[in-house]
Amino acid sequence: MNLLIVLALAALYPAVHILNAWLFDFANINLHISLIYLPAFLRLFNLLVMGPYLGTLATLLGGVMLMAQFNEPFNLALLNVACSCAGPLIALMGFRIYFQRRVQLTSLKDLGTLTVAYALCNSLIHHSTWLLLNSISQFDATQAFWMFVGDLNGALLGAYLMKALLDYLERKGVNFSEPSQPSN
């Protein structure tokens, strides 16, 4: 069953990426930066729903499916996928280490904190990788900032929509708000 969910989330990733490019065309700065980037939320969603291993696998598979859309050298495309997987994973692990607990899905504070950490990690990881690969000549803080803003906007929009859905389901009797405890 988990494999089917991973495959469904992987297929959803390029679909949302393509939809995002069409829906928010006015907010695209370049091929890799949009001021509203909904797939940023999917990267976090995959981890929050499936856990670090299967969630990262879903993002990785979705990113590989998306590689064909970007007419880029294979090594650059593969590293972009790796960066897309690393940003949310580092943010999630950092959250768990710092707060010594799991993210509470019904906590806007937790989701907001994780989202800001993710957007910052994702932007810095991508731009540093591009710099190391000589894909860009120098670290462009302005573009890194706009990527941060786009990831933050997309991830927050998705997180708040997820929070609204969870609140609705809780009102219908499904309980998601059990306190998270660190695993021993």
Please, where are the H alpha helices in 67-104? 74-99
> Does residue 99 carry a pLDDT above 90?
yes
Out of 28-32, 64-68, 94-98, 128-132, least confident range:
28-32
| Mean pLDDT in residue range 120-128 | 92
> Does residue 141 carry a pLDDT above 60?
yes
CB 74 within 8 Å of CB 184: no
Residue 50's pLDDT band (cuts 50, 70, 90): very high
**What is the pLDDT of the chain when averaged over all its residues?**
87
Burial profile 144-154: b = 16 or more Cβ within 10 angstroms, e = fewer: bebbbbbbbbb
Estimate to the nearest angstrom the gap between the alpha carbon of 47 and the chain centroid.
9
Residue type, 55: G
CATH of domain 2-68+75-171: 1.10.1760
The structural domains of the chain, with segments of one domain joined by +, span: 2-68+75-171
Model pLDDT for residues 166-179, shown as the tens digit of each residue:
789 888 888 765 55
- Residue reference for tokens 């609204």: 164
Model pLDDT for residues 64-80, shown as the tens digit of each residue:
999 888 788 888 889 99
Which residues face 33 on adjacent strands? 30
CA dist 62 and 13 (Å) reads 5
CA dist 60 and 48 (Å) reads 15
* Structural tokens at position 26: 């006015």
In percent, how much of the chain has pLDDT > 70? 94
